[in-house]
Amino acid sequence: MKIRFQILVLFCFLMMQNKTIYAQTGSEPVLQVFARLQQVYQNIPALSFDVKYTYSNETKPAEILDSLSGKFEINQGNYHYLLDSTETIHNERYTIVLFREDKLLYLTKSSEEQKVNPVSTINDLLKNKEGLTFDVSDKDKLTMLKIGYPPGKEYKSVELIIDTATGYLAKAVYIVQTKLLVDAQGATDQTSLNQYDEYARVEVSFLNYNSNTVDTSIFDEKKIFFKEGKDFKTTAAYKEYKIFLGSLNL
């Protein structure tokens, strides 16, 4: 089974943008937790951690159908992460996505909205969502935050678990419609589709946090490509990659 990369990395993008969080009735305790989380990540000049995603049916969470592991590194607004065969590098000039299996390099101009921050998709989770339920509790040095959604929505629930000693995210659990995750090319026949519940369980674990200095050379685009006139060309190490430009006036 193939899981869509864009959906699987959704939670990692909680650390990518700086946006206002919109409140609604009953969400105040949740927003307070997010505000504390935001402050923790903003105040750390350098941070690295490992991530592990596991996918299962909602009704059989112990039966892992797919998994994905990676590493995330942050330094002064720059970030680098590697998930399976896809690598992303962001600095003050560019955002570079390397699709290793396909030998593709997707290049866009860096922007303010791509700066590191732990609340990028909070608006998507909270804004204009009627009938949400909220719960925040503390147990065994962990803060557990849960958002529940009305029947028939894309999400059934989102749960975040935060280590109260460090303020870091420890785990996230999404109950999300399977159709948003399963690659159509990987499940075209009815037999394949029948193995999935309507809702899937995606668990994201955040491991091995390290706030020591990050090697800043990993953010340097010059090791990957260079500009010659108006053209972008790969270095020898990436000569097999084809460059696609996603922004004008690069």
Count of other CB atoms within 10 angstroms of residue 100: 13
- DSSP letter for each residue of 124-138: HHHTT-TT-EEEEEE
HSE at residue 99, side-chain half, CA atoms within 13 A, is 11
CA 78/CA 104 separation, integer angstroms: 22
Count of other CB atoms within 10 angstroms of residue 1: 13
Kindly report, residue by residue over 91-113, the tens digit of the pLDDT.
999 999 999 999 999 999 987 55
Nearest to 44 by CA among 83, 15, 2, 22: 15
Instruction: Return the sign of the alpha-carbon dihedral for residues 247, 119, 145, 130.
Output: negative
CA 112/CA 210 separation, integer angstroms: 25
Per-residue pLDDT of the chain (250 residues; tens, 9 = 90+): 444 534 445 444 444 334 444 444 456 777 788 778 877 877 788 999 999 999 999 999 999 988 989 999 989 888 898 988 899 999 999 999 999 999 999 999 987 555 544 444 555 566 556 788 888 899 989 999 898 999 988 889 989 899 999 999 999 999 999 888 876 445 545 555 677 899 999 999 999 999 988 899 999 999 999 999 999 999 999 999 999 999 888 8
CA 151/CA 167 separation, integer angstroms: 32
- DSSP letter for each residue of 104-163: EEEEEE--GGGS--BTTTHHHHHTT-TT-EEEEEEETTEEEEEEE--TTSSEEEEEEEEE
Helix (H) or strand (E) holding 202: strand 199-210
Domains of the chain: 5-77+115-219 (2.50.20)
Nearest to 173 by CA among 213, 138, 150, 145: 145
Distances in Å between the Cα of 159 and the Cα atoms of 2, 31, 136 are 24, 14, 10
- State the first-to-last Cα distance of the chain, in angstroms, to the nearest integer: 37
